[in-house]
Structures are given as structure tokens and as C-alpha cells.
Amino acid sequence: MRRFFVVLCAAFAAVGFAGPASANEQLLAKEKNAAEWVSPTGNYANHRYSTLAQINRENVGSLKVAWTFSTGVLRGHEGGPLVIGNIMYVHTPFPNNVFALDLNNDGAIIWKYEPKQDPDTIPVMCCDTVNRGLAYAEGTIILHQADTTVVALDAQTGKVRWKAVNGDPKKGETGTSAPMIVKDKVIVGISGGEFGVQCHVTAYDLTSGKRVWRAYSVGPDDQLLFDPQKTTSLGKPVGKDSSLKTWKGDQWKIGGGCTWGWLAYDPELDLFYYGSGNPSTWNPVQRPGDNKWSMTIFARNPDTGMAKWVYQMTPHDEWDYDGVNEMILVNQEMGGQMRKMLVHFDRNGLAYTMDRETGELLVAEKYDPVVNWTTGVDMDKNSKTYGRPKVVARYSTEQQGEDVNTTGICPAALGTKDQQPAAFSPRTGLFYVPTNHVCMDYEPFKVSYTAGQPYVGATLSMYPPKGSKHMGNFIAWDAIEGKIVWSNPELFSVWSGALATAGDVVFYGTLEGFLKAVDAKTGRELYKFKTPSGIIGNVTTYMHGGKQYIAILSGIGGWAGIGLAAGLTDPQAGLGAVGGYAALHKYTRLGGQLTVFSLP
């Protein structure tokens, strides 16, 4: 079955995205050219896989630094560069500068875009001033700025073609996510769940920047873009007012459900997929009900925004387990039936395998054994609680009550995996997942809403699981069986996006600053190199002048590195992360650099 699965996935990668009628034709063609890296996750399916094999498990130990580039910006460097033809496009955290670098001239700067943004945006950015990357299509680079401005730049000159305002920082809305271009539309989410934002995804016309549609995560059906009879959840119509019925009064208006994660698209089904984040506030006592459709996987039509199906992973979230992590699309056989699969590693510690055409739940298993807030998901289709996690009362922050410190909850609010994207190799059929091995104490308290002010309502502390000295693992996962195949412990959380290649090598970065290469089949470490700052960026590969290169942004920050990035010292600051990662200062410091590697 494994061999059949791999063949099918390889066919999906090569052929399944070939439908010219239902995706941006230029991107579809460029995705097949392994010399380029044309989207933040490599392709519409979020595989983060390259067919390049010049660098392989036999020679990767000989990698050398080919060249470097300083971004001139400190704080957290998430995401990674794009490579289009002979140009590399590099982005930075706030103020979100963009550089076009000439690969024919040792990375010389062709042009740079330096937006002028109000620094008052910085205090309303929840977990550092990060930006997760750029999008490209039709000679245009798309940037989603921190102040929510969506900017279209001429890829050759850097000239601004259009701008569109996607939100209002004065209300706590910010832009941190990487856009995705489908056909003639730029699709982008919004951040701000910790400020009581009613969150959404929005489509803009690629040519003009005109807004085409907007779909909210919570609220009335016309704002959700739901058809009560045609939009389904676990195979059943959601019904009228499916979200409103699960909120107290008008609290949905400040209900969160933000959409700052990664997007995926299936041209054959003409559906795009993404997840929504935590409900606001973090104090569950103040928002009784399931709080739909926060914490939800959405499948939507890119032309209209209409939802085909939804699945809420963590109803009435009591732990800030944002559901925004990437959806990875693969094809496989299960139970003798061919399935179009969606695989998702959620913050809540459960890895989900779903039928992406119907929304049927197929697998839901823990991908870190220490996860304890739930005993698992009810998989009995005849049960009234089918598809819901079984909550352990001891770790329910609501059942313990306001002003009670619930201790030993695993995972912590930053999840078993945060935004750092996993990779999938069709050669092995495995998923390579950077994870957090962290638990927390969580004390909810009553909080009032004021526009533009934090609307959190909980105090957190984070630490490794009892008896463990490490805070992260890099794992290989079998999504058919729902099992860990191998696991490499790391001193700190692995906050870098992974890359798998046809050379049977998997790359990732560590918070101390190491770029690492491991054997895709066994996990054996093959190479490591320490870059100038901690890595929370995503590994990229490309081919230029007959040589394969590996590129990584280093620059400590993000939620795990917020203490270093923002100079915080209170252990409970940074939503609890400062104390948990206090030891990072012994291993790395601030800095923003692109490091590019090749064989001698």
C-alpha cells in the first residue's frame, strides 16, 4: 500500500494540478519547474517538496555557504524567499521591506520596496512583527503589510501597481500572512484574534486590486458566505444561523477566528482550504457555546468565496489552540477507495486526515504523546458527539473556572505545532513536521473589550513536559496510520518550516540558529550549520547556473522568540512564552540574514 500511495501522490503532484481552467496558468506551469520556488510553500498543495536531487543524502554533508544577504531588519524573520527566473525576492518583518536580488550577480539588489508604515501598528501585532512571505503571478509580487495594506509590485521594477486596505490596525487588525493567488484573484487573511477582531478572508482582483468578496469566520450566514442547506459539516447541512446560535448575544462581532495561516488550493475541485483561529476572548467563561466557526477548516470556492464544507476541530476553545496551520493536499487509497486527502497538523496536538472533497473525517490522532487535554476524537459516526474531541475535565480551563490556575496542560497555547509549515515527500509518503514539546499553566480572568486594546483574558506560563529536558521534536508522520515513524528531539521548539527533496533529504532550522539536514527515511542527522541568529524561517531550494541551492532566513523572533525580539523579561509576558524560552539568550541574538548554501 505504501508503494501505491507514493505513486499516487507523485502523480498528483505532476498531473493533478494541470487543469488550466481552474488555476493561475502561469503558476501551474512554474510549479513544474524545480529550478524556481514560486509560492511560499512551493505549490498549491503545500507540499514544500522539491524534485531537485543534486544535493542528496550522500553528499549533503559537504554543503558550504555560497553567499549571504543582510536584510537590515531585526526581530522575527518568518517565511522564505521566492525564486522567479534569475531573481530572488526577499521580504522582512516590519516595516516589510522587499528586495529583488540578482542571482546572476551574487545577489546584488535590483530594486527594493520600503513601505512607510505607522509604528503604532507594532503594539497591536500579537506575537512579534513577523511576515510570512510574498506571492507571485503574472509578473506581479504581492505583499501583505503589517498595517493590512495589500500591495501589488511590478516584479521587474518594484513599481507599485495598486494598493488595497484589508483592515484597520486601530481596531487591532494586522497583516502577517502570505497571500495566495488563484486564477485572477489575490486571497488573503487577517490577524487580530487577541484584539477581538471579527476575522475574514478576502479576495482582490489581481489586475486592479478591487475587492471581489469577503468571507468572515463568525457571524450571520450572509457574512460567512454560507448556504445553510448546501454548506456541510461532517456530511450534514450546517443549517440556518449555524454560527450565531453558538455565541452569546452579539459577542460574535468581536469573536476572533482569524485567518493568518497558510492557504491551499485544489484546481480539480476548484476549492481552496484554510483554517480559522481562536475565539475571543481567551477566557472561555465569557463566551458560552461552541463559538462556530472559530477553530475550523474551511473549503471554499475561490470565485465566489462560498463555503462548501467546514469542520470545527476544537469547539469552544479553552486553550488558544488556533486552527490556522497549513492544509497539505495529497491523494491516497484508504479502505480500498481512492481519496483526495487533506492532512492538517493542528495546534491542539491532533493530526487530521480528511477527504477534502466531502469534508469526511478519516483520521484524528495525537502527534505528540504528551497531549493530555483530550483523550482523542469521537470517531463513531452514529454518536451525537461524532467528530468532537473528548475533553479531560482536569485540563478544562472553563470547568476549573475563572481566576483558577489550571496546571500541566499539554500542549501549551502555541500548540504542538504553530504556523511553521510541515513538508511532504511523495518518495517516502511521509510528512515531516516541526513541533513544539511544551505544556502550560492557564488562568482565565474576566476582561472587557475596548477597540484596539488586547482582549485576551488569561495568564499563561510555559515549560517542557514533566520529566522532559527538551521543548521540541522534528518528526516523520504517517497520515494513513496516524503514527509517528521517527522523532528527533530538539532543545527548543522547532519553529522553522521544513523542506523535503528528491535527494531524500529533509531540511529544517532550529531556534538556536542551526540549519539541519536529516535522512528522510531514518531521521539521521546528516549536516548542520549555525547561522547568525535563531531560525524561524522556512527552508527554500532552487537551481541556478546548473547548481542546486538551499536558502534560509535567520532572525530570532516570533512567539517563541518574542522575549529576545522585544526585550521582554517578565516570565508571563509574550502570552507566557518569555519564561518558557528564557534560555534562548544563551544561544543566539537578534539579526536578519539570508544564508544560501550549495555544494563545493
The catalytic residue among 147, 320, 346, 418 is 320
Residue 344 confidence (pLDDT): 98
Residue 25 pLDDT greater than 90, yes or no? no
Other C-beta atoms lying within 10 Å of the C-beta of residue 522: 13
Residue range 517-535, pLDDT digits in tens: 999 999 999 999 999 999 9
Per-residue pLDDT, averaged over 480-509, amounts to 98
Q: Report the relative pairing of strands 499-501 and 49-50 from DSSP bridges.
A: parallel
Residue range 269-288, pLDDT digits in tens: 999 999 999 999 999 999 99
Residue 495 pLDDT greater than 60, yes or no? yes
- For residues 520 and 430, is the Cβ–Cβ distance under 8 A? yes
Query: How high is the mean pLDDT of the chain?
Result: 95
Domain ranges of the chain: 2-598
Please give the biggest Cα pair distance in the chain: 64
Residue range 540-578, pLDDT digits in tens: 999 999 999 999 999 999 999 999 999 999 999 999 999
Q: What is the DSSP string of 226-280?
A: --TTTSEETTEE--TTTTGGGSSTTGGGG-B----S--EEETTTTEEEEE--PBS
Q: Report the relative pairing of strands 593-598 and 211-216 from DSSP bridges.
A: unpaired
- Greater confidence (62 vs 338) lies with 62
Residue 2 pLDDT greater than 60, yes or no? no
Grid coordinates representing 567? Answer: 526585550
Place of cell 522575549: 563
320 catalytically annotated: yes
442 vs 195, 235, 402, 407, 410, CA distance in Å?
19, 35, 10, 7, 11
- Residue 23's pLDDT band (cuts 50, 70, 90): low
Look at residue 3 and give its three-state secondary structure.
Answer: helix
What are the E-state strand segments in 416-534?
423-425, 430-436, 439-444, 458-463, 472-478, 483-490, 499-501, 505-509, 514-519, 525-530
Per CATH, which fold does 2-598 belong to?
Methanol Dehydrogenase; Chain A (2.140.10)
Residue 8 pLDDT greater than 80, yes or no? no
Residue range 314-368, pLDDT digits in tens: 999 999 999 999 999 999 888 888 899 999 999 999 999 999 999 999 999 999 9
Residue 513 confidence (pLDDT): 98
Per-residue pLDDT, averaged over 14-21, amounts to 37
Partnered with residue 211 across adjacent β-strands are: 204
DSSP designation for 12? I
- Residue 14's pLDDT band (cuts 50, 70, 90): very low
Residue range 379-424, pLDDT digits in tens: 999 999 999 999 999 999 999 999 999 999 999 999 999 999 999 9
- Residue 7's pLDDT band (cuts 50, 70, 90): very low
DSSP designation for 191? B
Residue range 456-493, pLDDT digits in tens: 999 999 999 999 999 999 999 999 999 999 999 999 99
Residue range 245-254, pLDDT digits in tens: 999 999 999 9
Residue 321 confidence (pLDDT): 97
Q: What is the DSSP string of 424-455?
A: EETTTTEEEEEEE--EEEEEE------TTS--
Residue 37 pLDDT greater than 90, yes or no? yes
Residue range 101-136, pLDDT digits in tens: 999 999 999 999 999 999 999 999 999 999 999 999
